[in-house]
């Protein structure tokens, strides 16, 4: 048994040796195979490289051949560029000699990249207004004409943005992808393309909407001394367009940056900035930018006009615009005229405001309503610029300093203010309720004048004075709190039906505020019905009577609780 076991071990050893030899043979064969594969791959790589080199050489030769063929077709060209040299520069204007082929309003470039616009042509030189800083520009520098006129970006992308008169954003670094660019100057639509103003544009100021209605496409001038609430009236008109679909453009001309930023903050706080374009030119900007600002704003407004939309544009203010143009004209050595203004000062405002209009439906049916603002001195509305603007516009709202100091805000002088469109732009319901309101106020002013001297008056005159005082208290309004059309109708109806007659004059304001709060919270459906209908139907008047009776009961309960 022991021998057999030894034989088996030897046999197992022999088998293992054979396996080892077989394995060695396989390894050798595998090594040969790997070597042959590497050699094969190397040969392929070398062949590919040679083919690529030949291919690249063919491509290069082909390109060179094409270039040589094209070069034979090139013809030498000579390009002529109109150039000039700086003769004098400073204070935002420049005098350039040369530039024989330039035209008015053409853009030229200086070596620093700053642009200028041609404003005056002479036989031997050209006068320019600088559209940027003149630092780094010296006499003798080369000026090159571009053959182009000044254009600004327009489009709905500008809504919610603050831009300078050249259309460049100044609120943030985000670039404006404008729909298109348009020239600043444009001929106003002709009479055939227009239609009469017959649709109301509610400003939210009770006194204006009741007594001096403004229509879409109208130009209503706002006059007054400094710090009398002119900008507030215009801003309230913008705030009241929040849900009306009317686009708004606010143009600040030569205003302090703090004042313009305050207006922008108000627009953002009331959530109407997204519907407004702000064109900003501050008092420290070059006079050229202050001069171009209103034209840039009007060009941006005309884009929406061409889309068939309604636009409200505010120019704050054109007195500073006239001053900027006078500054430029005197620097350009133009002869001064009345009050040192050049003779064409009327033209620069008329060609601006004439672009505000209401178009026919066949031309899109859009409108531009302009609210230009002008500053007076000591209430003098017969000054040169003021009378020019009055003759161009369709009415004026005159703010009185005395009324303002007496806390009668808005301080609109009823005797000197007018809207030449009149009732044509007023809703029939409001026209019916207003009636002789303006006449009653005028009569109250005359009668109240006599009572200052201690003159005794009869009971009828006393009632007339009391009613006039109540009307004036009702027409008072806090800034940046515009009234809707429906709420104005409610207040007017309450006044006409005698609901204010039993209220003490000192409590009229509290009574009105409570009335507004009552209707907003309890009679919202009635306000919607009033807004939908142009006339006061019998059913609406019945509902108004019922609601006012309910409010009077509520007012008595409040009074008892306060006691």
In this predicted structure, the answer to whether residue 160 has a pLDDT above a threshold of 50 is: yes
Output the pLDDT for position 560: 52
Q: Give the model's pLDDT for residue 14.
A: 45
pLDDT band, very low/low/confident/very high, at 376 (cuts 50, 70, 90): very high
- Cα 424 to Cα 415: distance, rounded to the nearest angstrom: 20
**Mean pLDDT on 525-536:** 87
pLDDT category of residue 6 using cuts at 50, 70 and 90? very low
Q: Report whether 399 contacts 417 (CB < 8 A).
A: no
Q: How confident is the model at residue 80 (pLDDT cuts 50, 70, 90)?
A: confident
Omega within 30 of 0 (cis) for the link into 410: yes
> Tens of pLDDT along 215-242?
999 999 999 999 999 999 999 999 999 9
The Cα–Cα gap between 116 and 400 comes to 41
Lowest pLDDT segment from 262-271, 430-439, 510-519: 430-439
Give Cβ neighbours of residue 238 (< 8 Å, ≥ 6 apart).
248, 250, 267, 272, 276, 312, 314
pLDDT at 42: 64
pLDDT of residue 48: 58
- How would residue 10 be classed by pLDDT, with cut points 50, 70 and 90? very low
Please state, in angstroms and rounded to a whole number, the distance separating the CA atoms of residues 299 and 368. Answer: 11
C-alpha dihedral (390, 391, 393, 397), degrees to nearest 10:
20
Token digits of residue 108:
């030229």
Does the pLDDT of residue 29 top 60, yes or no? no
DSSP string, 44-101: HHHHHHHHHHHHHHHHHHHHHHHHHHHHTT---------EEEEEEEETTEEEEEE-TT
Predicted pLDDT at 38: 56
Is the predicted pLDDT of residue 533 greater than 80, yes or no? yes
Confidence at residue 91, expressed as pLDDT on a 0 to 100 scale: 87
SS3 173: coil
Segments of 191-288 assigned E as strands: 221-224, 247-255, 276-282
Q: Report the share of the chain in percent with pLDDT over 70.
A: 88
pLDDT of the residue at 45? 62
Res 13: pLDDT = 41
Sheet of strand 247-255: strand arrangement = 162-163, 276-282, 247-255, 310-316, 367-375, 221-224, 395-398, 418-419
Reported as a pLDDT band with limits 50, 70 and 90, residue 40 is: low
Residue 554 Cα to chain centre, angstroms = 43
Per-residue model confidence (pLDDT) at position 20: 56
Q: Is 463 a catalytic residue?
A: no
Task: Say whether pLDDT at 336 is over 50.
Answer: yes
- Catalytic pick from 420, 470, 522, 531? 420
Q: What does the pLDDT read at residue 50?
A: 61
Name the range with the highest mean pLDDT among 8-17, 189-198, 447-456, 458-467. 189-198
Average pLDDT, the chain: 86
Per-residue model confidence (pLDDT) at position 499: 86
Residue 250 CA: distances (Å) to CA of 186, 256, 283, 307, 519: 20, 14, 16, 19, 32
Strand partners, 127: 95, 120
Mean pLDDT of 279-283: 93
DSSP code for 384 = H
Place of tokens 């590919």: 48
The yes-or-no verdict on residue 41 having pLDDT over 60 is no
Bridge partners of residue 115, in order along the sequence: 109
Q: Is the peptide bond before 111 cis (omega within 30 degrees of 0)?
A: no
User: What is the pLDDT averaged over residues 382-401?
Assistant: 95
User: Residue 500 has what pLDDT?
Assistant: 86
pLDDT at 79 over 50: yes
* pLDDT surpasses 70 at 176: yes
* Cβ atoms within 10 Å of 283's Cβ, excluding its own: 15
Amino acid 454: pLDDT: 61
pLDDT of residue 2: 37
Instruction: Give the model's pLDDT for residue 34.
Output: 47
Which helix (H) or strand (E) segment holds residue 313: the answer is: strand 310-316
Q: What digits encode the pLDDT tens for the residues 294-324? A: 999 999 999 999 999 999 999 998 999 999 9
pLDDT in tens, 60-78: 777 777 777 777 777 777 7
């Amino acid at each position: 048994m022991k021998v057999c076991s030894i034989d088996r071990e030897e046999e197992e050893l022999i088998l293992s040796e054979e396996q080892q030899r077989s394995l060695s043979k396989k390894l050798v064969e595998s090594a040969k195979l790997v070597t042959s594969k590497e050699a094969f791959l190397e040969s392929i790589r070398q062949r590919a490289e040679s083919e690529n080199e030949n291919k690249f050489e063919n491509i290069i030769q082909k390109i060179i051949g094409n270039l040589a063929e094209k070069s034979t077709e090139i013809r030498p060209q000579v390009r002529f560029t109109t150039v000039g040299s700086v003769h004098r520069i400073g204070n935002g204007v420049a005098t350039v000699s040369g530039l024989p082929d330039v035209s008015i309003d053409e853009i030229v470039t200086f070596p620093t990249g700053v642009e200028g616009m041609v404003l005056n042509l002479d036989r031997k030189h050209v006068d320019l207004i600088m559209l940027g800083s003149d630092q780094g520009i010296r006499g003798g520098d080369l000026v090159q004409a571009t053959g182009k006129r000044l254009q600004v970006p327009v489009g709905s992308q500008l809504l919610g943005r603050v831009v300078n008169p050249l259309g460049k954003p100044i609120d943030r670094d985000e670039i404006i992808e404008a729909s298109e660019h348009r020239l600043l100057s444009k001929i106003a639509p002709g009479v055939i393309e227009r239609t009469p103003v017959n649709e109301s544009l509610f400003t939210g100021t009770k006194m204006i909407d009741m007594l001096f209605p403004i229509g879409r496409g109208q130009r209503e001038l706002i006059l007054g001394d400094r710090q009398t609430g002119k900008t507030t009236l215009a801003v309230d008109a913008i705030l009241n367009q929040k849900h009306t679909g009317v686009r708004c453009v606010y143009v600040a001309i030569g205003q302090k940056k703090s004042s313009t930023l305050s207006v922008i903050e108000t627009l953002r706080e009331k959530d109407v900035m997204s519907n407004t374009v702000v064109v900003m030119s501050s008092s420290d900007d070059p006079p050229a930018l202050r001069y171009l600002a209103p034209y840039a704003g009007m060009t941006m407004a005309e884009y929406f006009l061409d889309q068939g939309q309604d636009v409200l544009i505010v120019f704050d203010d054109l007195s500073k615009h006239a001053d900027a143009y006078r500054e430029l004209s005197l620097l350009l050595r133009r002869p001064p005229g009345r009050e040192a203004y050049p003779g064409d000062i009327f033209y620069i405002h008329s060609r601006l405001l004439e672009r505000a209009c209401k178009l026919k439906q066949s031309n899109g049916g859009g409108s531009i309503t302009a609210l230009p603002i002008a500053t007076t001195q000591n209430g003098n509305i017969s000054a040169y610029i003021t009378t020019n603007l009055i003759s161009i516009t369709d009415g004026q709202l005159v703010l009185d300093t005395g009324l303002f100091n007496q806390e009668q805000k808005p301080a609109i002088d009823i005797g000197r203010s007018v809207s030449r469109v009149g009732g044509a732009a007023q809703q029939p319901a409001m026209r019916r309720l207003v009636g002789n309101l303006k006449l009653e106020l005028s009569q109250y002013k005359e009668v109240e004048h006599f009572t200052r001297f201690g003159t005794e008056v009869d009971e009828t005159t006393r009632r007339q004075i009391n009613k006039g005082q109540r009307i004036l208290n009702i027409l008072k309004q806090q800034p940046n709190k515009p009234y809707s059309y429906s709420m104005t109708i409610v207040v007017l109806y309450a006044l006409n039906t005698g609901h204010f007659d039993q209220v003490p004059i000192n409590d009229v304001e509290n009574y009105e505020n409570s009335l507004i709060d009552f209707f907003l919270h309890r009679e919202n459906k009635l306000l919607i019905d009033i807004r939908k209908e142009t006339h006061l139907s019998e059913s609406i008047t019945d509902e108004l009577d019922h609601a006012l009776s309910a409010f009077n009961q509520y007012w008595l309960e409040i009074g008892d609780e306060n006691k």
